[in-house]
Amino acid sequence: MNAEPGLLTFTLPEKIHSRHNDRQAIVCVRQSTVRQIEHNRESTRLQYALADRAFRLGWRRDQITVIDDDLGRSGASTLDRPGFQRLVAEVGLGRVGMVIGIEVSRLARSCRDWHQLLEMCA
């Protein structure tokens, strides 16, 4: 396909409904170490660009929240991870219609923490 991306017709995935778009979209930006932040800048840039993806999926800019509080923090524990705690709180309060990130399984290394978040999202 040789069409320019801006000229393509864009349709929303059928799993996104108005009840999702009525809530906020949370973009999770994460790198585990300061070294990764310094040396993997393309990954960080791509993660921040997910806010544009949420916009294209129907969220207004003011509904898109970027959580990057955990940049440079290990995912081994959620105790010292204010970003993950904030994400869990927002999902638990029913304020989130979509969580988007690259490799979101890296949000928590503990299966218990990860599964707790998935259960709340469901």
User: For 98-120, how does the pLDDT look when each residue is reduced to its tens digit (9 = 90+)?
Assistant: 999 887 777 777 778 778 888 88
Point out the catalytic residue in the list 18, 32, 43, 110: 32
Query: Which amino acid type is present at position 61?
Result: R
- Which of 46-60, 71-85, 97-111 has maximum average pLDDT? 46-60
% of the chain residues with pLDDT over 70: 87
Active site (annotated) includes residue 32 = yes
How big is the chain, counted in residues? Answer: 122
Buried/exposed code over 33-69 (b: 16+ C-beta within 10 A; e: otherwise): eeeeeeeeeebbeebeebbeebeebbbeeebbbbbeb
% of the chain residues with pLDDT over 90: 39
pTM above 0.85, yes or no: no
pLDDT at 112: 80
pLDDT at 7: 40
- Which of 17-21, 28-32, 64-68, 84-88 has maximum average pLDDT? 64-68
CB 121: neighbour CB atoms within 10 A?
11
Higher pLDDT, 10 or 83: 83
